[in-house]
Structure 1
């Protein structure tokens, strides 16, 4: 038994002896919550992961061989602006990793950029692999646990031009890439994930709601058609731009193939699956409607996690209010983030409880945060969200880490550089980093490995 497992059992026992009357929430029927515990300070188990996350294309800069780079730079495009130099993290990674450690965190989540490692089909860059080895060595130097994503949305241009995740050969190609990375870097990696929230498109667009208009619109179709022309194949499918059902089927098969390929190279590797979630709340929806919403948004991935994941990463930002037949917009007068969704830090607790009711795997919060120009709101969000994680753990749910999104104010895909999710601001002219008060707050919680919790 690891120190983490031992201390986690001790915390559960302490809650029971305190008269909380709890049983492990993961064993409760779906929708049933454990009885409330007493208020007070919650100490996280030794070995709990506290971290911040970045993604290759969003921070590295000049990722010219990726599908996203092409989509950003052609006309027409749905992107507000190109990524350009981004945060120049490809060059400044050592500084960023040292900053993570200095803040008091113990984990750094990042992605290996497929389009750098395999810029052409079957041609692997030893220089790119050496770079990511340097990143991992920097984590080791600063005693940070790396959590590595093999893919965070963007793919090589050649892959997208073959049909991307809609292509018949996608699972084999992705598994080949994952095996190559594991062979080159696996000795420095223990916690990895194949995809970053591959269900995001289904969560946003698969169930009727206010975002339906943004998927498959004429401008998006024209962008993809132009990308196909530029690529010379007449076809282009990338990320969430394409046939969402075919993309999901391709990624489900690709995850299975990659999970098995990674374990063949390194059987001890912990390979997880991150899932985008909302705290789904019925606001007029029947039980059948709620089940249908969840099946569309998460069902295939939660089912796959049971057989093909060593852990599940829960990624949650807000709640979703489900009406009789559609997701509803935020209620009138609700506080909104700069992404125009509801400020609702309590959501991570609901998402963790639902995930624990569906899968018997360790859980990590692999993304959680808000876009705001007012860092006081981010501080409030962190306090409430981490308190929710503590309540879940006090109720017996096996949560092993909290990783905030994001470390840096970075490129936010279609929205460009407008939304600010970072714990650290970045001057894009000088690339100077400045930690915000929220970064120090999260670092303080991490150093203390404890937080005051109340009952909700």
Structure 2
């Protein structure tokens, strides 16, 4: 059974989350092309070359979707704004795009939902990608302009603002591993993106604070790095991956530098004078968002180029994404972050969930079990002293799962991608029962 609301601290927030490109439909409302549109149009990048042109048609069905969130008893909704919708060419504001987010936020408030805004969830205007995207320092600084446009329109009504979602995915997954837009496999591009995405965060926080915005944070993703064995080489391999994935971004913000294990490979490719940016990157946070899904097992790959590691399959039960179910990793990161990096700073689990090949009318017991296990892990972290303030399930809807197209289903609500009919799953109803206040 999912631990009920009453077993969490008073005032603990429960929410669900989505992202603009994954649900809205980039074809509508005057949105310009993003680098995800062009990435998806390139053969071999995305399953069946699917894109977010229509997605879940949330642009037209947002009221129905907010009704589903409110009916489940959630307190808050974490949504993102599309840079390509609001500034289609990366510079000129599209009033129709801003009007959409105006309606959306007012709709949340009318239903008693607290709006948790994420400014950037990966859809960069294609015109800025043409300039080099996150490889280009100027593009990173222009992100602050986008942040200001959004804040001036809806900043008076949102409860909190996160600058960036999952910078590891924005930078490493997309510029070194090539699995997401812009699909590069280039260590120089990756090093610059790893730094510039944090520079964008710092510049945006500075701009927003200057406008009087409060409750500012960032959403980082964490992936438990398990050594394949006790051999020193495998221990070192896991440490390198932990430095790249889990330590780079939080230490850049809280320590003013990057971990040595990651700089060992990236330093020769970093922008000249990057050290001078660390003061801006280290802007004070009001809260930290933690996205957690799984762990990976790492072994040494002797003779391979840096980082000279390889992944080893794990023995645990796996989701539709092939990710191991490892709730202990969530507890571990929450307690580790509180102990080593942020102290008593408020933390939110901003994403946690599982993809499961479910269909309407079939109980998704695996997802219910997953939620129960991770709620329990969060409770253990709270008991250990983590100042955890809320938990957002990913995701409200089955949606466009990036390079996986529409095949992988994370939603509490099933979406028929032909008719766009929404059908709440058993996990939706189980969470509704757990969140009931009576």
Q: Tell me the TM-score normalised to structure 1 length.
A: 0.78
Would the aligned equivalents of 1:201 and 1:244 in 2 still touch at CA under 8 Å? no
Q: Within 2, Cα distance between the matches of 1:358 and 1:93?
A: 40
Q: 1:342 aligns with which of 314, 318, 324?
A: 324
Matches within 5 A, 1:147-226: 147-200=116-169, 215-216=177-178
Match of 1:280, SS?
Answer: strand
**Superimposed CA distance per residue, residues 130-166 of structure 1 (whole angstroms, 9 cap, x where no aligned partner):** 2101111111011111111100011111111111111
Q: What residue number does 2:52 align with? A: 83
Matches within 5 A, 1:24-103: 43-63=7-27, 65-75=33-43, 77-80=45-48, 81-103=50-72
Residues 70 and 203 from structure 1, CA distance in 2 versus in 1: closer, same or farther, beyond 3 angstroms?
A: closer
Q: Within 2, Cα distance between the matches of 1:125 and 1:40?
A: 43
Q: Within 2, Cα distance between the matches of 1:89 and 1:433?
A: 11
Q: Which runs of 5+ in 1 are unaligned?
A: 1-38, 207-211, 221-236, 450-456
Q: Within 2, Cα distance between the matches of 1:62 and 1:204?
A: 23
Q: CA deviation at 1:324?
A: 4.9
Q: What residue number does 1:272 align with? A: 217
Q: 1:303 aligns with which of 236, 251, 254?
A: 251
Would the aligned equivalents of 2:18 and 2:396 in 1 still touch at CA under 8 Å? yes
Q: Tell me the TM-score normalised to structure 2 length.
A: 0.81
Q: Within 2, Cα distance between the matches of 1:310 and 1:100?
A: 26
CA RMSD of aligned residues (A): 2.6
Q: Within 1, Cα distance between the matches of 2:215 and 2:203?
A: 15
Q: CA deviation at 1:205?
A: 8.7
Match of 2:311, SS?
Answer: coil
Q: 2:241 aligns with which of 278, 283, 293?
A: 293
Would the aligned equivalents of 1:338 and 1:372 in 2 still touch at CA under 8 Å? yes
Q: Within 2, Cα distance between the matches of 1:137 and 1:365?
A: 24
Aligned residues: 384
Q: CA deviation at 1:74?
A: 4.0
Q: CA deviation at 1:98?
A: 1.3
Q: Within 2, Cα distance between the matches of 1:153 and 1:248?
A: 14
Match of 1:187, SS?
Answer: coil
Q: Which runs of 5+ in 2 are unaligned?
A: 255-281, 302-308, 359-363
1:376 aligns with 2:344: no
Q: CA deviation at 1:189?
A: 1.3
Residues 349 and 260 from structure 1, CA distance in 2 versus in 1: closer, same or farther, beyond 3 angstroms?
A: same
Residues 109 and 129 from structure 1, CA distance in 2 versus in 1: closer, same or farther, beyond 3 angstroms?
A: same
Matches within 5 A, 1:419-434: 419-434=408-423
1:238 aligns with 2:206: no
Q: Within 2, Cα distance between the matches of 1:241 and 1:272?
A: 29
Would the aligned equivalents of 1:318 and 1:341 in 2 still touch at CA under 8 Å? yes
Q: CA deviation at 1:346?
A: 3.3
Would the aligned equivalents of 1:86 and 1:410 in 2 still touch at CA under 8 Å? yes
Residues 40 and 310 from structure 1, CA distance in 2 versus in 1: closer, same or farther, beyond 3 angstroms?
A: closer
Would the aligned equivalents of 1:202 and 1:297 in 2 still touch at CA under 8 Å? no
Would the aligned equivalents of 2:16 and 2:77 in 1 still touch at CA under 8 Å? yes
Q: Within 2, Cα distance between the matches of 1:201 and 1:395?
A: 32
Q: CA deviation at 1:262?
A: 1.1
Residues 350 and 338 from structure 1, CA distance in 2 versus in 1: closer, same or farther, beyond 3 angstroms?
A: same
Would the aligned equivalents of 1:305 and 1:359 in 2 still touch at CA under 8 Å? no
Q: CA deviation at 1:432?
A: 1.1
Moved more, 62-71 or 100-109: 62-71
